[in-house]
Amino acid sequence: MLSSLILLSSLAIAGPRTEVGAGKDFGIGVEAGLYYSFTGKYFFSDNAGLAFSVGASPYGIGYTNGRVQFEGRVLEFADWDFADFGGYWNAGLASRIWLDSSITSSVQLGPTGGVGVELRFKEAPAAVYAETDFRLWLVGPKTGTYAGISQFGLAPLVGGRWYF
């Protein structure tokens, strides 16, 4: 199934290359939503890249989060003079490191996947995006206050990156 999705993204309808992903293949930025994170992305083709983030919960819950995922652009909704607007899918690995004193320090790991939309600017090496990921925690806290909670869920976010 994953190979089918990768093939689909390589056959994706692509717009003309902009600065993002065209010589300016590595970007860094911030994300906000379920987590506040620092993020980065490396494009290895016009429509595919590897994204990562690391951050923490803004709600005072005692953990940090991380994510590494493949992103493949599959749709182009609009190609304006100032930017192009498209849709993408992602799949990867998410983690949480619990630091809360009510449980023994623990790590949660599991797959993540979802969809998003991205606006890539043409005159500036920048992009903004919104996405939501489904996360399934396969490994995690088994005792304490947080045992058995947040074993799956959606992780919506918005973000932006500046490319170099």
Instruction: Say what the pLDDT of residue 1 is.
Output: 45
Nearest CA among 79, 89, 70 for reference residue 131: 89
Number of structural domains the chain divides into:
1
Instruction: Say what the pLDDT of residue 14 is.
Output: 42
- Buried b vs exposed e over 112-147: b needs ≥16 C-beta within 10 Å? bbbebebbbbbeebbbebebebebebeebbeeeebe
Number of residues in the chain: 164
Helix runs in the chain, H state only:
2-10
Instruction: Say what the pLDDT of residue 141 is.
Output: 63
Instruction: Say what the pLDDT of residue 50 is.
Output: 96
Instruction: Say what the pLDDT of residue 5 is.
Output: 41
Instruction: State which residues of the chain have pLDDT below 50.
Output: 1-17
Instruction: Say what the pLDDT of residue 21 is.
Output: 57
3 state SS of 5: helix
Task: Note down the domain range covering 78.
Answer: 2-163
Instruction: Say what the pLDDT of residue 34 is.
Output: 79
CATH of the domain at 62: 2.40.160.20
